[in-house]
Structure 1
């Protein structure tokens, strides 16, 4: 294709998915979607290849959404779709790794044929079951499992599925508000894609999609071929609630001849009894994100740029979860996936990596009854520790690598549930020393003002094992989690008294280079 024409139409595609994401954020009920951007939107061609994605989003959703579209249309075939159909699933192995993340896929029709698909994945407030914690004993305790089905059929709601969802969640109005936001954003994306085709006289986007994906693939392989071939190794260890220590081991193989990178997690920890196991799609999402951000971050993130990166892990492994292990808190381990990869790449491109950071965001979910006796459940809200230092810059404080999800403002939380924050400040000095200093964590205190007992799901990590420094940099500080001044943390839902107060300090990031 002509380069100028391609650039113009590529700009159109990016605008479509970005507008789709903005519409989703504006309409969504859940603060974690509206305020924190815990979402992904993408545009797919007629073969369900991801062509373009919005800038807004988290890697665990974006890259797993790329695989989810193909999974959905493999179950419900394109020939069984018609205008007005909308597909849905929260199957952990089909999409983003746990029940809270619901994927919605809308087929786009033009002149009676499928032009492409608009897809979105967002974190929902409630999906019934145990909640966001890690205490379920198997996946069936964790909530409502929605197989690949039609949420809408020819523009009309699937009433049976709608009734099942409504009956199995605690806050049905919030769930359907967010589902409606996903459906609306997908419909809008389809309308915008048809308008683009009208402008340029296109009956389909086959040539456009093929060109974008082919160029992305070629550029990624060219970048890989510039690396020194060979096997490179990395390893990271961290602790999770209950004191369990998880180790992730990685062998990164650079294959110049094929222009491919193979990431192998053989030797990593076995599955956990806690709900922190990670499905392969989520592992793949964060592994590819780490490599893409080092290798060629300016390239589009699509089927072409992701294709040359292969990820594998043994079956008996915490990051290749198999049914029926619990997975609801899969981010606690999944967000550590980039760190052994970064250590391997430090042997190849030391100026492009960063030291270990705090790891997974600390996820909090609160459940109870307000002063009037009405039930409430908070949307999951997250707090970050310090980011690892970079070769030429200090690590960012209170910023989590690799998720990209922002914290929900405390004012929004205090307005939506009966919570009162007593403290929120940067924990100065918790980042590791080095030529470049690791980012600091933060201190957060809160209590409830409902006057009633309440339940707390909290999933901190790095309470004992701090983030390591790189190239002589010193480690950051480990975190702490206290209730009424006493250390208290288990991998399960905690019953709390009406007056209990929580104080937590998130970990600091490691330093880069010797401090002397």
Structure 2
């Protein structure tokens, strides 16, 4: 395909998914989507290959959406009609826990299927236990939506809608967010149909082949420039309840094939708490770590992901087997890049960074207002410091590797009876080095309720801070205190009116030996 023509068509595709992602973010009900950007949006061809993704989103959603879209296309092959909308939140088929719901819209021009547009967003509520790690198996964690049609020929699937409505605590918010996903998909379909008609093509299959083949070859060529071999990395961290998790990885660079294999053999086994990770989510953060170091300017699609293979033993904490609980899977999943970056430090030291605080600290609050009406907070999350880079200090209070933003405290105070007493940086919590790690932050809050309330809290790194690299010193560990007393629980906590919660997130590790 002519390079100029390809660039014009590619720009149009990116424009479609970018605008739909921004529209979805604007009209979503949940602050975790609207304010924090916890979403992904992507375009798929008829074969279920991710062709283009929006530049708004998180790695755990974007790269998991590539798998979810492919699964839905395969499952409903030959069974889609104009007006259909597909849905699932199956953890093993999509983004790893029930809160992330994937909606996929088949795009038809008349009777002809052109492509699919899909989105994954974090929903405020999916019933069950909530975002914490205390459920004993996946069935206690909430409503499981298998691959189904949310809409059939343009009409709601009333049975499915009723099931969802009766199994969640805040149905209006859930259906508001689902409607945002559906309407953004419908608008994307209109734009793609106009694009195809403008250029006189029946579908995007030829364009998809060109984009995916070029992306794959460019990624393989970037890998061929690296030093061949197998490189090892390891990270350990504590999780709610005090358990120590170890992730080990062997990163093999095969320059002849232009491929990279990431093998997590030797990592911790899956646990009885809801911090287990499905392989899709592990793959998402593994490919993110490699591609951000390898060639971050290349499009992120099925082609650029193809040269990277991710392996993990079934039954391990990063490839858990049914019916393992998974609702707090980010607590472990967001540490996946850390051992990979340590391995890549042996190949491209100037492109990696020291360990950061890892998983964002997520809080979900449930309770009743003074008028008796129940409320469930959007998951609000707070980050620690990022690890230092080879030539720059680590950013403070920055969500890495997720990229999701913190919901502003003003928004949280406006949507539920909560008061934040302070939110400030933990000066000096970043590890020292030639380049210093980023600082964590301190957040203190209390609830204005007359009745007891429930807190799902999943902090990590309470006993050991993030490692430095190349002689850099570790960052400070975090603290989670209720009324001044340390707490480390994997279960949901029952809180009393007037209880004060203090979060002190970890600092990032330093890079290089500190000056004497």
Work out whether residues 357 and 400 of structure 1, in 8 Å CA contact, stay in contact via their aligned partners in 2: no
Question: For 1:311 and 1:81, how far apart are their aligned partners in 2?
Answer: 31
The corresponding residue for 2:49 is 49
Q: How does 1:139-178 map to 2 (within 5 A)?
A: 139-178=138-177
Summarize deviations over 1:113-132 as a string: whole Å, max 9, x none.
21100000000000000000
- TM-score, normalised via structure 2 length: 0.99
Question: For 2:85 and 2:279, how far apart are their aligned partners in 1?
Answer: 25
SS in 1 for 2:194: helix
Work out whether residues 233 and 344 of structure 1, in 8 Å CA contact, stay in contact via their aligned partners in 2: yes
Question: Could you tell me how far 1:27 is from its partner in structure 2?
Answer: 1.1
Question: For 1:93 and 1:273, how far apart are their aligned partners in 2?
Answer: 17
Question: For 2:384 and 2:188, how far apart are their aligned partners in 1?
Answer: 35
Q: How does 1:60-459 map to 2 (within 5 A)?
A: 60-77=60-77, 79-459=78-458
SS in 2 for 1:80: coil
Summarize deviations over 1:454-502 as a string: whole Å, max 9, x none.
0000000000011000000000000000001011120010000011000
Work out whether residues 473 and 510 of structure 1, in 8 Å CA contact, stay in contact via their aligned partners in 2: yes
Question: Could you tell me how far 1:451 is from its partner in structure 2?
Answer: 2.2
SS in 1 for 2:64: helix
Question: For 2:22 and 2:223, how far apart are their aligned partners in 1?
Answer: 34
Question: For 1:271 and 1:26, how far apart are their aligned partners in 2?
Answer: 37
Question: For 1:460 and 1:48, how far apart are their aligned partners in 2?
Answer: 36
Question: For 1:326 and 1:465, how far apart are their aligned partners in 2?
Answer: 25
Question: For 2:339 and 2:112, how far apart are their aligned partners in 1?
Answer: 45
Question: Could you tell me how far 1:256 is from its partner in structure 2?
Answer: 0.9
Summarize deviations over 1:383-425 as a string: whole Å, max 9, x none.
0000000001000000021000000000000000000000100
Question: Could you tell me how far 1:202 is from its partner in structure 2?
Answer: 1.4
The corresponding residue for 2:29 is 29
Question: For 1:46 and 1:74, how far apart are their aligned partners in 2?
Answer: 10
Question: For 1:424 and 1:388, how far apart are their aligned partners in 2?
Answer: 21
Question: Could you tell me how far 1:82 is from its partner in structure 2?
Answer: 0.4
Question: For 1:98 and 1:111, how far apart are their aligned partners in 2?
Answer: 36
The corresponding residue for 2:58 is 58
Note the residue ranges of structure 2 that are not aligned, 5 or more in a row: none
Question: For 1:316 and 1:129, how far apart are their aligned partners in 2?
Answer: 24
Question: For 1:316 and 1:281, how far apart are their aligned partners in 2?
Answer: 14
Over aligned residue pairs, what C-alpha RMSD do you find?
0.6
Question: For 1:455 and 1:61, how far apart are their aligned partners in 2?
Answer: 27
SS in 1 for 2:176: helix
Question: Could you tell me how far 1:111 is from its partner in structure 2?
Answer: 3.9
Summarize deviations over 1:78-116 as a string: whole Å, max 9, x none.
x11100000000000010000000000000012422110
The corresponding residue for 1:512 is 511
Work out whether residues 455 and 496 of structure 1, in 8 Å CA contact, stay in contact via their aligned partners in 2: yes
Question: Could you tell me how far 1:426 is from its partner in structure 2?
Answer: 0.6
Work out whether residues 240 and 459 of structure 2, in 8 Å CA contact, stay in contact via their aligned partners in 1: yes
The corresponding residue for 1:461 is 460
Summarize deviations over 1:10-33 as a string: whole Å, max 9, x none.
000000000110110111000000
Question: For 1:199 and 1:515, how far apart are their aligned partners in 2?
Answer: 59
Question: Could you tell me how far 1:232 is from its partner in structure 2?
Answer: 0.3
Summarize deviations over 1:176-203 as a string: whole Å, max 9, x none.
0000000001111111111111221211
- After superposing the two structures, state which structure 1 stretch, 302-311 or 190-199, moved more: 190-199
Question: Could you tell me how far 1:152 is from its partner in structure 2?
Answer: 0.0
The corresponding residue for 2:40 is 40
The corresponding residue for 2:18 is 18
Work out whether residues 290 and 338 of structure 1, in 8 Å CA contact, stay in contact via their aligned partners in 2: yes
* Moved segments of 4+, more than 2 Å: none
SS in 1 for 2:208: helix
Aligned length: 515
Question: For 2:205 and 2:86, how far apart are their aligned partners in 1?
Answer: 22
Question: Could you tell me how far 1:371 is from its partner in structure 2?
Answer: 1.2
SS in 1 for 2:179: helix
Question: For 1:311 and 1:113, how far apart are their aligned partners in 2?
Answer: 36
- After superposing the two structures, state which structure 1 stretch, 107-116 or 471-480, moved more: 107-116
SS in 1 for 2:366: strand
Question: Could you tell me how far 1:281 is from its partner in structure 2?
Answer: 0.2
Question: For 1:206 and 1:268, how far apart are their aligned partners in 2?
Answer: 40
Question: For 2:95 and 2:360, how far apart are their aligned partners in 1?
Answer: 17
The corresponding residue for 1:492 is 491
SS in 2 for 1:354: coil
Question: For 1:114 and 1:94, how far apart are their aligned partners in 2?
Answer: 23
Question: For 2:511 and 2:402, how far apart are their aligned partners in 1?
Answer: 21
Question: Could you tell me how far 1:316 is from its partner in structure 2?
Answer: 2.5
